[in-house]
Amino acid sequence: MKRDDVTSLMDSYRECARHLWNCYFSKDAEPGQDWNLRDDFNAIAVGLFRSLVLRKLGREDVEVLPDHIIGRQPLLFLRLEAPAGSAIHVNRSAEITSGYWDDPVNRVEPDALDLRFFAYFDWWDLGFRDFAFYRVRIVGSRPHPHLVGRDALLPVGPGVKVIHDRVG
């Protein structure tokens, strides 16, 4: 399996989507509590992700749903590598997203967790967005098998890499 560091590609998409939301959508969405405008933006963001990331990875055939759609799946070919000691917020439940990101395992040890990209995440959907976290699915963990299947939040920042795992 070949692995490519695609962090800069993901950063480029993040900056584009963040700018579009913060400059053109949030000023109307937040004051009016307009969740439909949020949904419209999320659909646009999928198109941006498809064009700016998936097409360049040769993965434009992959189904990606807007962030507000329940039942979304992680993109298993996008793996996150976090530096040792990185803070991580793990959801309480594997069955549903509970909104509680407080599992006691909150530090990443080298090679302890296999994290796969799900989406970017911010605490508030209608106001200023920084896309401050990678929302990931934990698909493997030797020291913490009870975490497998749960979603987690990993802060975007120095040392975090997004790796494209590809066959061939």
The two three-digit tokens of residue 46, written as one number: 């999928």
Alpha-helix runs per DSSP H in 1-66: 7-20, 26-32, 35-49
Percent of the chain with pLDDT over 70: 94
Q: Point out which residues pair with 164 in neighbouring strands.
A: 4, 78
**pLDDT band, very low/low/confident/very high, at 142 (cuts 50, 70, 90):** confident
Please name the residues in contact with 130: beta carbons below 8 A apart, sequence gap of 6 or more. Answer: 18, 122
Global pTM reads 0.91
Tens-digit pLDDT profile for residues 76-90: 999 999 988 888 899
